[in-house]
Chain A
Amino acid sequence: MAGADGDDSLYPIAVLIDELRNEDVQLRLNSIKKLSTIALALGVERTRTELLPFLTDTIYDEDEVLLALAEQLGNFTMLVGGPEYVHCLLPPLESLATVEETVVRDKAVESLRKISQEHSPVDLEVHFEPLVKRLASGDWFTSRTSACGLFSVCYPRVSSTVKAEIRQHFRTLCADDTPMVRRAAASKLGEFSKVLELDYLKSDIISLFTALASDEQDSVRLLAVEACVSIATLLPQEDLETLVMPTLRQAAEDKSWRVRYMVADKFSELQKAVGPEITKNDLVPAFQNLLKDCEAEVRAAAANKVKEFCENLPEDSREQIIMTHILPCVKELVSDTNQHVKSALASVIMGLSTILGKDNTIEHLLPLFLAQLKDECPEVRLNIISNLDCVNEVIGIRQLSQSLLPAIVELAEDAKWRVRLAIIEYMPLLAGQLGVEFFDEKLNTLCMAWLIDHVYAIREAATCNLMKLVEKFGAEWAQNTIVPKVLGMANDPNYLHRMTTLFCINALSEACGQDITTKQMLPVVLKMSTDQVANVRFNVAKSLQKIGPVLDSNALQTEVKPVLEKLATDTDMDVKYFAQEAISVLALA
């Protein structure tokens, strides 16, 4: 035992143990996180007989301490003496599984699930299963909700009599008085179905599923929708119609918008689970209804699924279904009154062009894209622009460019700087798709205008954008179009604009290469070292440090060094500091 080693090794452990109940939460938390160290020092026997009983009763602590404890115990098997003794971990985890804080309970259940795998089949029936039963019939709903998550891990490994008991417990919890327990049972229904034998699935689960799906509480019904996906996947195709579909149809038309929202949100999964035939007959009309739902939240959720739904339609009838059933609804959504619905649609609608092909895209989708590019809500326009690549592949971007340009210009000048920022981020992508000529003609001025935006974040994004453009179009293009304009700003009366020149140079020097940097940029930077504003001067020092590696040693020694040395004697202490830093980084001292 560790005790024989003497004070040196014992002292830190003694501190850790004492700090398990220090008044400072942080210290307690540290101790709990090092629980394995404590257990190792105590040895497996004392861990089992002293440490674990103590921990079982310390459930009064702060949530974060309990959370850490619940997590630690999941990895404790070896520290209590291996799988043979793993059941010793059950009492502390059982008490953690009944606390009121959901995250702690969930973590305790997670750890219980983990250590259940380390139980031998006998131990599982002797120790683990009774714990599940105790939790399932506990007085408080907290323990009963925790039980719901444990059925599926022990069910496959116990005898058939115990299995029958577990099924009975699950049935009871599905009809519990408190909505919390029914919610927990509903959310574990899918998981439990997966470990159940098919016969019991049909005889037990379906009736529970039907009951939960028509629960009086909206919050229970909506969880049944999720279970629907797993159950439908498990059942043979021929049973779906009678066992699952009535409930699903009912859910899609539920009085509560939250349930319908859940159906819309899970639509792709449902579609895959029920297969092509039912999709054609049932889901298509249901999806149409969701797209036309009176609640905007539901429409938005459904609109988000338009592309995925269309993609997963059976190939033989895909185009016909989209053209006759889905597209008319989509057309209506383009002019929806709610902007969230429109922007949800805008984020996926471009994806339809790859599914429908060139001719349909030009005839049916293009007018919609154009309408959305003119939408009053900037988010809608942004979503269209950000997905241009899908259309580009199918019909080429030229078809759109007429409308694209005004849309871009408008977003570029939007009053909200976050909108301007978003469009800047798409510039390199757009430039790549539109080509250099179109860019020079129409967009270049915008990119330069952003450099003198009054919001710093925009100016910063604009410099970064220039760098990406140069990477795309090459150094020669930069030399002709960008560099002269950037350098021209060095003489601007506003010092913020002069600083932008320096930031641009920082970003561009590497992409432009040594030649342009030495011949065109360096003279400008050096000249700015005599600027009357200190902020500009110390940014000169920072810029020199940044572009130094691009320059040759001759330029460094003859041009950069004297200037930095002069700045190092500046009256301003920041200028001095950055000049000295540059000198040492560039090794010019």
Chain B
Amino acid sequence: MKCFSRYLPYLFRPPSTILSSTCHTEADIISTVEFNSSGELLATGDKGGRVVVFQREQESKSQPQRRGEYNVYSTFQSHEPEFDYLKSLEIEEKINKIKWLPQQNAAYFLLSTNDKTVKLWKISERDKRPEGYNLKDDDGRIRDPSTITSLRVPVLQPMDLMVEATARRVFSNAHTYHINSISVNSDLQTYISTDDLRVNLWNLEITDRSFNIVDIKPANMEELTEVITSAEFHPQQCNTFAYSSSKGSIRLCDMREAALCDKHCKYFEEPEDPSTRSFFSEIISSISDVKFSHNGRYLMTRDYLTVKVWDLQMENKPLETYQVHDYLRGKLCSLYENDCIFDKFECVWNGSDSVIMTGSYNNFFRMFDRNTKRDVTLEASRENSKPRAILKPRKVCVGGKRRKDEISVDSLDFSKKILHTTWHPHENIIAVAATNNLYIFQDKVN
């Protein structure tokens, strides 16, 4: 049997942690997953508006193999379903994105957003509580006021650790369309929230106003040909951000030049190959996610069938193009009919920008090594999860004879899709959201 170390330098063990809810309802479907900047915490958001934060177990000498297990640290309801009475619109509670803020004191902060409202949450620990009342005795009985002859100042006593989540800020009423992404600036003072037609700039401390920096809404909505699908700030340059469009292009904007960034400074687009043009060309070229590499040199974009890496210095074509599931090219018609063609897959970089990961169908996810040009398909599943085993690579065969261990395109399950994944910022630990399950894999210990 082939060992997958031939494909990638990283060996991922079967899920060290599978976190899933026992009753599988629509509300439990995970809609976003994100590591914080140290990788010690991992947050997921779901369709029911909940945020679950996992904390990595501290390393213990007695059980070295248990290092890196993630346990639930805090769970809270971030968004509630709402109704916009003016527009007669239901606002779903689904968490579209979570972004962590760098740690600023003993507490942790994250931004979570649904379609309309961004919230800043503080997750903090409390391990002391005050004891001693004047008007009650220690058993909680009310004392007769006339018996009070001296004053007691409460004293703080240790108690069991309690983790609290509190909404510190609510940024609302700035988006007419659905928010698809949020991104924190490297100045750690501002962030952007992006909907289908606009990008707004906020100060993290000010909730009553935001500045519109991109607006692509045409005067007449019938002339609308393109929407914004995602936007992200450059990791180091505070003035640069990129946004992707449904037409397959990416625009890079410089906030230094003008207060309004309607004019982009760079425009990345690959000319279409006329020979492959079809009815679906436009749909499958729509970009579902854009991510800067950690070093800020590259941009990665995901469209329906490929992942592309762009050099910021080269606008006319991508540096690298990786086929995620090219075998679906012949099935676009049925994917269109079951709406799968509109699925929004995300993509992530590993900590050193050398490997990229993105999802597919049938609970498969793909990794591409940019240096060796090798790639691998892995499956997020509970089966054959022998401890300390190595994840087996999977193969999809197209037509012809099916070899052992291969799976035919026609038997792929399109309802099992992996849209959201995240990679630990420094280590080879990945979290993969497969509908209501979260799989956390890490590379082989020792």
Give the interface of A toward B (CB within 8 A): 2-3, 6-7, 10-11, 13-15, 17-18, 20-21, 41-42, 46, 50-51, 54, 57-58, 60, 98-102, 140-143, 178-180, 183, 216-219, 254-258, 294-297
C-alpha spacing A60/B149, complex, angstroms: 30
* Residue B187 interfacial (CB < 8 Å): yes
Q: Is the CB of B133 within 8 A of A295?
A: no
Asked if B333 lies at the interface with its beta carbon under 8 angstroms from chain A, I say no
CB atoms of A218 and B239 under 8 A apart: yes
List 8 contacting pairs A-B, 8 Å CB cutoff, sorted by A.
Answer: A14-B135, A14-B148, A20-B130, A58-B130, A140-B106, A179-B186, A180-B104, A180-B189
4 closest Cβ contacts across the A-B interface? A14-B134, A256-B256, A50-B153, A140-B105
Considering the chains assembled together, what is the distance between the CA atoms of A454 and B151 in angstroms?
A: 65
Expressed in whole angstroms, the Cα–Cα distance for A294 and B109 within the complex equals 38
Establish whether residues A57 and B156, one from each chain, have CB atoms under 8 Å apart when the complex forms.
yes
A interface footprint on B183-205 (CB within 8 Å = 1, 0 otherwise): 00011110000000000000001
Binds A, one of B78-86, B121-129, B415-423: B121-129
Complex contacts, B124 vs chain A, CB 8 Å? 60
Within 8 A of A (CB), among B100-132: 102-107, 109, 122, 124, 126, 128, 130
The answer on a CB contact under 8 Å between A18 and B151 is no
**Chain A min CB distance to B211 (Å):** 10
User: Taking beta carbons and an 8 Å cutoff, which residues of B are in contact with A?
Assistant: 102-107, 109, 122, 124, 126, 128, 130, 133-136, 145-156, 168, 186-189, 205, 236-239, 255-259
Partner of A7, one of B128, B146, B168, B188: B146
B151 contacts A179, C-beta separation under 8 Å: no
Partner of B130, one of A21, A51, A98, A295: A21
Distance in angstroms between the alpha carbons of A78 and B256 in the assembled complex: 51
When distances are taken between beta carbons in the complex, the residues of chain A under 8 Å from B109 are 100
Q: Which residues of A contact B187 (CB under 8 A)?
A: 179, 217-219
Q: How far is the CA of A60 from the CA of B161 in the complex (A)?
A: 14
Look across to chain A and name the residue whose beta carbon is closest to the beta carbon of B143: A14
| Nearest-neighbor residue (CB-CB) of A259 within chain B | B256
Instruction: Knowing A7-B145, A257-B259, A295-B258, say if A17 contacts B151 (CB, 8 Å).
Output: yes
Given contacts A17-B134, A20-B154, A218-B187, contact A98 B105 (CB under 8 A): yes
Q: Do B135 and A15 touch across chains, with their CB atoms under 8 A apart?
A: yes
Given A18-B133, A297-B259: A100 and B107 interface contact (C-beta under 8 Å): yes
Q: Check B259–A295 contact: CB distance below 8 A.
A: yes
Q: Provided the pairs A17-B134, A295-B258, A295-B259 are in contact, do residues A60 and B126 lie with their beta carbons within 8 angstroms?
A: yes
| Measured CA separation A20–B130 after assembly (Å) | 10
- With A18-B135, A294-B258 in contact, is A100–B104 under 8 Å at CB? yes
Choose one: B104, B151, B205, B256; the contact of A142 (CB below 8 Å).
B104
Distance between B327 CB and nearest chain A CB, rounded to angstroms: 45
Kindly list 20 other residue pairs between chains A and B, CB separation below 8 angstroms, not including A140-B103, A180-B189: A6-B149, A7-B146, A7-B149, A10-B149, A10-B151, A13-B151, A17-B153, A46-B151, A50-B153, A57-B156, A58-B130, A60-B126, A98-B105, A100-B122, A178-B188, A179-B189, A217-B187, A219-B189, A254-B256, A257-B258
Residues of A within 8 A of B146 (CB): 7
Most chain A CB within 10 A, of B135, B151, B237, is at: B151
CA distance A41 to B148 in the complex (A): 14
Q: Give the Cβ gap from B333 to chain A, nearest Cβ, in Å.
A: 50
Q: Is the CB of A257 within 8 A of B103?
A: no
- Give A109 Cβ to nearest chain B Cβ, in Å: 15
Residues of A within 8 A of B145 (CB): 7, 11, 14
Q: Tell me the dominant secondary structure on chain B's binding face.
A: loop
Q: Which residue of A lies closest to B238 (CB)?
A: A217
Chain B residues within an 8 Å CB radius of A218? 187, 238-239, 255-256
- Considering the chains assembled together, what is the distance between the CA atoms of A378 and B278 in angstroms? 53
The distance from the CB of B150 to the nearest CB of chain A, in whole angstroms, is 5
Nearest-Cβ distance from residue B438 to partner chain A, whole angstroms:
28
Q: Tell me the complex Cα distance, A17–B150, Å.
A: 12
Known: A54-B156, A60-B126, A140-B105. A255 touches B256 (CB 8 A): yes
What is the bound-complex CA distance between A552 and B149, given in angstroms?
67
What is the bound-complex CA distance between A79 and B124, given in angstroms?
32
- The distance in angstroms between the C-alpha atoms of A243 and B124, with both chains bound, is 46
Complex contact A14–B151 (CB within 8 A): yes
A110 and B259 CA atoms in complex are apart in Å by 34
> A residues within 8 A CB of B188?
178-180
Q: Within 8 Å CB of A2, what residues of B?
A: 151
| Contact across chains for B105 and A99 when beta carbons are under 8 A apart | yes
Contact present for A17 and B149 (CB under 8 Å): no
B144 to chain A: closest residue by CB: A7
What CA separation (Å) do A99 and B130 show in the bound complex? 20
Q: How far is the CB of B166 from chain A (nearest CB, A)?
A: 9
Q: What CA separation (Å) do A128 and B404 show in the bound complex? A: 75
Interchain CA distance A254-B255 in the complex, whole Å: 13
How far apart are the CA atoms of A50 and B189 in the complex, in Å?
38
Q: Which residues on A sit within 8 Å (CB–CB) of B122?
A: 100
CA of A216 to CA of B257 in the docked complex: distance in angstroms? Answer: 15
* A140 to B: closest C-beta gap in Å: 4
Bound CA span A312–B337, Å: 73
Question: In the docked arrangement, what's the CA distance between A255 and B258, Å?
Answer: 10
Q: Which A residues are CB-close (under 8 A) to B133? A: 18
B134's nearest neighbour on chain A, judged by CB, is A14
B239–A54 touching, CB < 8 Å: no
User: Which B residues are CB-close (under 8 A) to A50?
Assistant: 153, 155
A100 and B128 alpha carbons, distance in the complex (Å):
19
Specify which of B150, B154, B236 is in contact with A216 (CB 8 Å cutoff).
Answer: B236
| Residues from chain B with Cβ under 8 Å of A15 in the complex | 134-135
Residues from chain B with Cβ under 8 Å of A41 in the complex = 151
Measured CA separation A430–B298 after assembly (Å): 63
- Could you say which residues of chain B place their CB within 8 Å of the CB of A11? 145, 148
> Which A residues are in CB contact (< 8 Å) with B154?
17, 20-21, 54
Q: B134 contacts which chain A residues (CB < 8 A)?
A: 14-15, 17-18
- Given the known inter-chain contacts A180-B189, A219-B189, A295-B259, please indicate yes or no for A256 contacting B148, CB distance below 8 A: no
State how many angstroms separate the Cβ of A44 from the closest Cβ of chain B: 14
Query: What B residues does A216 contact at CB under 8 A?
Result: 236-238
Once bound together, how far apart are the Cα atoms of A18 and B133, in whole Å? 6
Q: Name A62's closest neighbour in chain B (CB-CB).
A: B166
Q: Is the CB of B151 within 8 A of A256?
A: no
Complex-state Cα separation, A141 to B189, whole angstroms:
13
Min Cβ gap A219→B in Å is 5
Q: Report the nearest B residue to A99, measured CB to CB.
A: B105
